[in-house]
C-alpha cells in the first residue's frame, strides 16, 4: 500500500506530533508499505528553521525507508497574528507542490494541527481519488480560542469554516481520546466516521531504567536527589510558573530538585520567575537528544504533567504516554474534568492536583518524597498501563487496519461503478 502522511511536524523535531508521525511512518515501512511524508522545514519548538535547512524552498530526503518531502514555511520566533496567518498560508501553498508531483497514494493521512492544510489534502484526495484520514491531535479553533491564542473574530470564523470543511471532506477521523469523540458528535459528525486510536509510545525504547549510575543524574549533580521532572513545550497552555512557585515552597528541603527541560526562550522566562520567587532548587536545561530521552526520564523520581485551568477538557498531552512508559510516578496539575486527568486516573500511576495551585502541587510532591513505597507502586502501575494500552504496535495495527478498510471500500465502490457502466 502507498500511504502519504501530510504532517506539518516531522523528524528531526524532538517533541509533540513530530516523533509520533516519524514512528508511524517508519513503522508502516517496516510492515512493507511505501510511505512518503509531506512536511515543513523543521522549525519546532524554536520557531525558526533549523540551520542546515535554511535557504531552500524544497528538499527531498530519505530516512529509514521513508521519503520526506520538505517545503519552505514563513516562520518567526515571536509571531504576531499576521505571522501566524502567513505560516499556515505558506504551508498550504508550498506543500501542495511536492504532494502533487509525487506518486499517487492509496490513502492520505493528514494531521491537525495544522488545520488549514485540510484544503490541499482534500484537493489532493479528490484529484487522486483516494480516501483521507484526518488525525486530530487537537481541535481547532476551539482550543486556540480557549487559551487566548486566537482572538480575531474574522479568523475564528474562518477557522470554524475550515474545521467543518475538514470533517466533511475526511473519509475517517482518528481521534486520540474519548473527549474528542464527544466534542465531534456534539458538532454533528457521524459516529461511524470517528475512530479512536490513542497516541502511543515505543515501550521498548522508553522503559524503566535504574536511577543508579544514571548518566543524566551524574552530569547534572543529581545523585542522591529526589528529582521532579518536567520535559516538553513551555507555552501558554502549561503555566509552568506554577511549578517554579511550587519549587520555592519546598526550597527548604535540599534533597528535592525540580528539573525543567524545554526550549531556550521559555527557559529564559522561567529563569526570571525563579529569581523573583527564590526558587534556587530549580534546574533549567535545554532539550536533550532523543537518544538520551530514556536516561533522562529514568533520572526522575516523579514526572510532571502541567496544564492551565482554561485548557479545554479534551486536551491530551502526548507526554503522558511517555511518562507512564518510563515507569515513574506522575503528578498532574490539570483540570479535574479533563481528558488528561481521566487518563492518569485510569492508569493508577499518578496523583491529580488542581491546576495553577503551587501549594497543592508542592504538597503532592512532598507526600511522594516522604513515601518512597508509594512512588514505587505508582511507577509500577504506570509502566503496566502503558504496556497494556499505549504500546506502539497496537496503534500501528489499528492504523494499518484502517488504511486497509478504506482501500477495500474504495475498491468495492469502483467495482460497483464499473458494473453499472457495463450494464
At 164, which CATH number?
3.40.50.2000
What are the angstrom distances between the C-alpha of 230 and each of 13, 85, 295, 307?
A: 18, 31, 14, 12
Check whether 388 has a pLDDT greater than 60.
yes
- Let me know if residue 208 belongs to a domain: no
Domain assignment present for 209: no
pTM over 0.95: no
Tell me: the pLDDT tens digits for 107-118?
A: 999 999 888 999
- In which residue are the cell numbers 502526548 written? 318
Task: Report yes or no on 99 lying in a domain.
Answer: yes
Q: Which domain covers residue 359, as residue numbers?
A: 215-389
Give the side-chain half-sphere CA count within 13 A for 6: 34
- In this structure, is residue 88 part of a structural domain? yes
Query: What's the whole-number mean pLDDT along residues 340-350?
Result: 95
Q: Which three cell numbers stand for residue 309?
A: 485551568
- 26 and 130 in a single domain? The answer is yes
Q: Are residues 221 and 306 in the same domain?
A: yes
And the C-alpha cell for 88? 499556515
Whole-angstrom distance, CA of residue 131 vs CA of residue 125: 6
Residues 194 and 332 grouped into a single domain: no
* Predicted pLDDT of residue 416: 52
Do 74 and 148 fall into the same domain?
yes
Asked if 298 and 160 sit in the same domain, the reply is no
Look at residue 207 and tell me if it is in a domain. no
Q: Are 369 and 177 in contact (CB under 8 A)?
A: no
Q: pLDDT tens across 280-295, in order? A: 999 999 998 889 999 9
208 vs 297: CA distance, rounded Å: 8
**pLDDT (average), residues 12-26:** 94
Which phi and psi (to 5°) does residue 135 adopt? -95, 110
- Give the pLDDT score at 331: 98
Rounded (10°) angle between helices 241-249 and 358-370: 50
Task: Assess whether 123 and 13 both reside in one domain.
Answer: yes
Same-domain check for residues 270 and 328: yes
CA 243 to chain centre: 21
pLDDT band at 217; cut points 50, 70, 90: very high
**Residue from 119, 124, 123, 125 nearest 172 by CA:** 125
Q: Is 38 part of a structural domain of the chain?
A: yes
418: confidence class by pLDDT, cuts 50, 70, 90: very low
Q: Cα–Cα distance between 143 and 133 in angstroms, integer?
A: 21
Whether residues 50 and 154 fall in one domain: yes
Q: Which H or E element spans position 260?
A: strand 256-262
Q: Please provide the average confidence, as pLDDT, over all residues in the chain.
A: 91
**10, part of any domain:** yes
**Same domain membership, residue 173 and residue 91:** yes
232 and 253 belong to one structural domain: yes
Number of domains in the chain: 2
* Residues 7 and 98 reside in one and the same domain: yes
The span from the CA of 135 to the CA of 113, in Å, is 9
3-class DSSP state of 351:
strand
Average pLDDT over residues 339-364: 95
Q: Considering the domain boundaries, does residue 374 fall inside one?
A: yes
Task: Give the residue-averaged pLDDT of 163-183.
Answer: 93
Given a contact cutoff of 8 angstroms between Cβ atoms, the answer to whether 244 and 271 are in contact is no
Which pLDDT belongs to residue 148? 67
Amino acid at each position: 500500500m502507498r500511504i502519504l502522511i501530510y504532517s506539518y511536524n516531522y523528524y528531526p523535531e524532538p517533541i509533540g506530533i513530530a516523533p509520533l508521525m516519524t514512528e508511524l511512518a517508519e513503522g508502516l515501512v517496516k510492515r512493507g508499505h511505501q510511505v512518503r511524508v509531506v512536511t515543513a522545514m523543521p522549525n519546532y519548538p524554536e520557531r525558526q528553521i533549523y540551520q542546515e535547512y535554511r535557504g531552500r524552498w524544497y528538499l527531498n530526503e530519505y530516512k529509514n525507508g521513508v521519503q520526506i518531502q520538505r517545503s519552505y514555511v514563513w516562520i518567526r520566533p515571536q509571531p504576531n497574528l499576521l505571522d501566524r496567518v502567513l505560516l499556515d498560508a505558506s504551508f498550504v501553498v508550498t506543500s501542495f507542490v511536492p504532494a502533487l508531483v509525487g506518486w499517487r497514494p492509496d490513502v492520505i493521512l493528514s494531521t491537525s494541527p495544522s488545520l488549514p492544510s485540510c484544503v490541499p489534502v482534500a484537493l489532493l484526495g479528490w484529484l487522486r481519488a483516494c480516501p483521507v484520514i484526518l488525525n486530530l491531535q487537537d481541535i481547532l479553533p476551539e482550543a486556540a480560542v480557549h487559551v487566548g491564542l486566537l482572538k480575531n473574530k474574522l479568523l475564528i470564523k474562518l477557522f470554524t469554516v475550515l474545521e467543518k470543511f475538514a470533517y466533511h471532506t475526511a473519509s475517517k477521523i482518528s481521534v486520540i481520546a474519548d473527549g474528542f469523540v464527544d466534542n465531534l458528535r456534539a458538532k454533528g459528525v457521524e459516529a461511524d466516521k470517528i475512530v479512536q486510536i490513542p497516541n502511543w509510545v515505543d515501550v521498548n525504547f522508553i522503559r524503566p531504567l535504574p536511577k543508579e549510575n544514571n548518566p543524566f543524574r551524574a552530569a547534572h549533580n543529581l545523585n542522591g536527589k529526589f528529582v521532579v521532572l518536567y520535559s516538553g513545550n513551555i507555552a501558554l497552555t502549561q503555566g509552568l510558573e506554577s511549578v517554579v512557585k511550587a519549587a520555592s515552597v519546598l526550597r527548604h528541603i535540599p534533597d528535592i530538585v525540580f528539573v525543567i527541560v524545554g526550549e531556550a526562550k521559555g527557559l529564559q522566562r522561567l529563569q526570571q520567575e525563579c529569581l523573583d520567587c527564590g526558587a534556587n532548587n530549580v534546574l533549567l536545561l535545554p532539550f536533550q537528544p532523543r537518544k538520551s530521552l530514556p536516561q533522562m526520564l529514568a533520572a526522575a523520581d516523579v514526572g510532571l504533567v502541567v496544564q492551565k485551568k482554561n485548557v479545554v477538557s479534551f486536551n491530551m498531552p502526548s507526554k503522558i504516554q511517555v511518562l507512564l512508559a518510563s515507569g515513574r510516578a506522575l503528578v498532574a496539575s490539570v483540570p479535574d474534568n479533563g481528558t488528561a486527568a481521566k487518563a492518569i486516573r485510569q492508569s493508577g500511576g499518578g496523583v491529580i492536583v488542581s491546576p495553577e495551585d503551587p501549594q497543592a502541587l508542592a504538597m503532592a510532591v512532598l507526600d511522594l518524597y516522604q513515601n518512597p513505597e508509594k512512588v514505587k507502586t505508582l511507577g509500577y502501575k504506570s509502566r503496566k498501563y502503558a504496556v497494556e494500552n499505549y504500546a506502539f504496535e497496537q496503534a500501528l495495527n489499528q492504523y494499518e487496519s484502517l488504511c486497509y478498510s478504506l482501500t477495500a471500500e474504495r475498491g468495492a465502490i469502483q467495482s460497483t461503478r464499473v458494473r453499472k457502466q457495463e450494464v
